[in-house]
Amino acid sequence: MRRQKSLVSFALPMLMALLSALVLTGFSGGAARANVSTTTSLNTAFTQASQESGVPISILKALCYMEGRLSNHAGHPSLDGGYGCMHLIQNERGDTLTQAAKALHVDPQQLKSDSATNIRGGAAVLRDEAIQLSPSHTLPGNLGDWYGTLVAYSHATTHSTALMYADALFKIVQNGFSAPNETGEVVTLAPESVKVNKATAKNIKAATTIPSGCQVDANVDYPGAVDCILDPNAYDCTPPPAVYPYCTYESANRPTDLSVNYVVIHDTETSLQGALNVFQSHTSGVSIHYIVDTDGTVYELLHDKDFAYHVGNYWYNQHSVGIENIGYDATGFLWYNAAQYLASAKLTAYLVNKYNIPLDHDHIVSHGTVPSPGLSTNHVDPGPYWLWTYYLNLVQQQSGAPFTAKSKDTHIITLKPSTDKKPLGKNGTETPANFNFFYLYTGPSTQSARIPQLGDPTDVTDETNNVETNISYYYLAKVKDPAGTGDTLYEIWYGESDQAHSTPSSLVQSAHLAWLAVPPGAAVEGQGTAVTLNDPSGTVPIYGKPQTGATVIATAPSNAVFVSGYTFVEDGTTNLWYEINYNHRQAWVPASAITPVQSIKTGN
């Protein structure tokens, strides 16, 4: 069942940390005042809350900035059931909202609607957490000693995620910030040098509400992941008498027997429990290596060395690791958030370094950019709201690996619009403006008809007449949109589903020249090798995988020009294949049909 959609917090705190006996304590000096006026400025509220609670003002400011970007969001809860910039939660895993209301003697509704009260409520919870953690039941004496309190306040499912939360907050303290809230009031936190005492978190345990079939242990590949690894006796298709679909993956010894060349990014189209229900069913016929929840918690279901049935193309299954991200492709802006992006990027960075996977969108791919191996459709996730520029930058920061260096050509472009560089909403969330599919037209104007689309024209996830960001294309000509949109239209070769609505219909795609509409400033110089396709018959067959005998899924006329991001030597042979960016998806052509070219100066 789909969760209620609402604003998501920047860090999306997770499960409430276990405290042996939570005792609510009042502020020093007796009972707290019942209310702080809604006219109280945010800066005054921070000062009052710090004085009343004993919590350092820098902790309060950093927490309010990290969780809510200084906003109360009109009293709306986050996806995790948290309220206000202090993210006071009320869900099945904890209730710091009620805890704060009791400490302040106020109605919980006031904590939801009034920023000043919300800040005081967060301070009260932090104070209670700190006293409970202290052997002497006193507040930490140094700023860095509040680390353990913040780990507990995170309400994280796993200890590693809780540590990530506290690390992120102290990074804000050390860097400082100056930012306005929704009313325009500016809050400033000067950078502060602090020695973090991580020993204060060593005895804090994560919550015990681990999903069924999972546990927290050290038997995982990715450090800190929740262990949901499937029992090979029930799920492995390799040993006889396992018969698909009564098994869901194949055991292997990658990369010894099969190279790992890709990380495939998915979304689940369901909740965490819904996803686990599917992947923990031995009759589902599908599997995945990892799931990343909206709060940043990572669940591991298969060992990296084994290959999952996850991408609808057996060859790509053999050579990839799959990551499911909780969310829905059509409404990704309501789901994808900064905490999830960061956790997913850290996981991908680990895989990039482990398997020396090139850091680019040719190898860190969408399910929606993987071709079908035959005459069938494939999935389209994670959809138009997955921010590839933002995500790949996070992967680079976390991995330390350089972006892949490739040859350049003045006629190769890739799209990196501003809408793809960061979430545009509050709290690290996206907005509908983060939509990043770009459409093709039959002529050099957006007043021309769009090229044929396979599915429903109202389906924003349909990928058959558009492209996504960070994929390179070769253009033969360009023109400013005469319709006055400000877009530039680029003429490119693109594989169209033009036969799908013919009689008889066919899913074989055909390459045609089409015009890609690109917003101002979105096109940058791309990378890759421009290649010309050739075949004695005049029609070049296109394949969905680099294997001799593979099904022809598409065609292109001789002399059509595409961008190839990389090559691959067919498993067990010396046959060289070229990947090409055929349309929204990758495709494959044998080297015998390829002529690498320098820039073809056709058009402008």
Q: What secondary structure does DSSP assign to 178-228, as a single string? A: EEE-TTS-EEEE--------GGGGTTPBPPS-PPTT-B-SS--SSTT-EE-
Spatial distance between the Cα atoms of 497 and 149, rounded to a whole number of angstroms: 57
Residue 24 burial (CB count, 10 A) = 13
pLDDT of the residue at 260: 98
* Rounded (5°) CA angle 595-596-601: 105
pLDDT of the residue at 255: 98
Spatial distance between the Cα atoms of 91 and 250, rounded to a whole number of angstroms: 38
Report the Cα 164 to chain-centroid distance in Å. 17
Q: Are 312 and 372 in contact (CB under 8 A)?
A: yes
Q: Are 121 and 111 in contact (CB under 8 A)?
A: yes
pLDDT of the residue at 391: 98
Q: 38-42, 76-80, 574-578 — which is least confidently predicted?
A: 76-80
Spatial distance between the Cα atoms of 458 and 305, rounded to a whole number of angstroms: 40
| Residue 207 or residue 364, greater confidence | 364
pLDDT digits (tens, 9 = 90+) for 167-186: 889 999 999 999 888 788 99
pLDDT digits (tens, 9 = 90+) for 253-267: 999 999 999 999 999
* Cβ neighbours for 569, distance < 8 A, ≥ 6 positions apart: 575, 576, 577
Using H for helix, E for strand and C for coil, what is the string for 449-465?
CECCCCCCCCCCCCCCC
Spatial distance between the Cα atoms of 152 and 126, rounded to a whole number of angstroms: 9
Q: Are 329 and 381 in contact (CB under 8 A)?
A: yes
**What structural domains and CATH numbers belong to the chain?**
42-201 (1.10.530), 210-405 (3.40.80.10), 408-604 (no CATH)
Across 149-166, average pLDDT: 81
For residue 159, which phi and psi values (nearest 5 degrees)? -60, -40
User: In terms of Cα–Cα distance, which of 385, 373, 378 is closest to 319?
Assistant: 373
Burial 179-209 (b: 16+ CB within 10 A, else e): eebeeeeebebeeeebebeeebbeebebbee
pLDDT of the residue at 405: 87
Q: Are 512 and 494 in contact (CB under 8 A)?
A: yes
pLDDT of the residue at 206: 63
Tokens found for residue 100: 């704060």
Q: Compute the radius of gyration of the chain from its Cα atoms.
A: 26
pLDDT of the residue at 168: 81
pLDDT tops 80 at residue 520: yes
Across 28-57, average pLDDT: 72
Kindly report the pTM of this predicted structure: 0.72
Tokens found for residue 387: 């921010």
Share of the chain above pLDDT 90, in %: 71
User: In terms of Cα–Cα distance, which of 129, 150, 121 is closest to 45?
Assistant: 121
Residue 485 burial (CB count, 10 A) = 15
pLDDT tops 50 at residue 166: yes
pLDDT digits (tens, 9 = 90+) for 394-417: 999 999 999 998 888 899 999 999
pLDDT tops 90 at residue 538: yes
pLDDT tops 70 at residue 512: yes
- Hey, is 89 helix, strand or coil? strand
Spatial distance between the Cα atoms of 119 and 121, rounded to a whole number of angstroms: 5
pLDDT tops 80 at residue 30: no
pLDDT digits (tens, 9 = 90+) for 459-472: 999 999 999 999 99
pLDDT of the residue at 78: 67
Angle formed by the axes of helices 338-355 and 388-399, nearest 10° = 50
- Hey, is 202 helix, strand or coil? coil
pLDDT digits (tens, 9 = 90+) for 433-459: 999 999 999 999 999 999 999 988 889
pLDDT tops 90 at residue 377: no
Strands 320-325 and 249-250: unpaired
Q: 12-16, 392-396, 452-456, 552-556 — which is least confidently predicted?
A: 12-16
Which of left, alpha, beta for 200 (phi over 0: left; psi -120 to 50: alpha)?
alpha
User: In terms of Cα–Cα distance, which of 258, 245, 321 is closest to 288?
Assistant: 321
Spatial distance between the Cα atoms of 206 and 99, rounded to a whole number of angstroms: 19
pLDDT digits (tens, 9 = 90+) for 87-139: 898 876 679 999 999 999 999 999 999 999 999 999 999 999 999 999 999 99
Q: Are 415 and 522 in contact (CB under 8 A)?
A: yes
pLDDT of the residue at 7: 27
Q: Are 577 and 546 in contact (CB under 8 A)?
A: yes
For residue 322, which phi and psi values (nearest 5 degrees)? -105, 140
pLDDT of the residue at 598: 62
Q: Which of the four pLDDT bands, split at 50, 70 and 90, describes residue 9?
A: very low
What's the DSSP call for residue 547? -
Share of the chain above pLDDT 70, in %: 90
Q: Which of the four pLDDT bands, split at 50, 70 and 90, describes residue 241?
A: confident
pLDDT digits (tens, 9 = 90+) for 481-499: 999 999 999 999 999 999 8
Strands 177-180 and 94-95: unpaired
pLDDT digits (tens, 9 = 90+) for 47-87: 999 999 999 999 999 999 888 778 887 787 765 678 889 98
- Hey, is 577 helix, strand or coil? strand
pLDDT of the residue at 209: 64
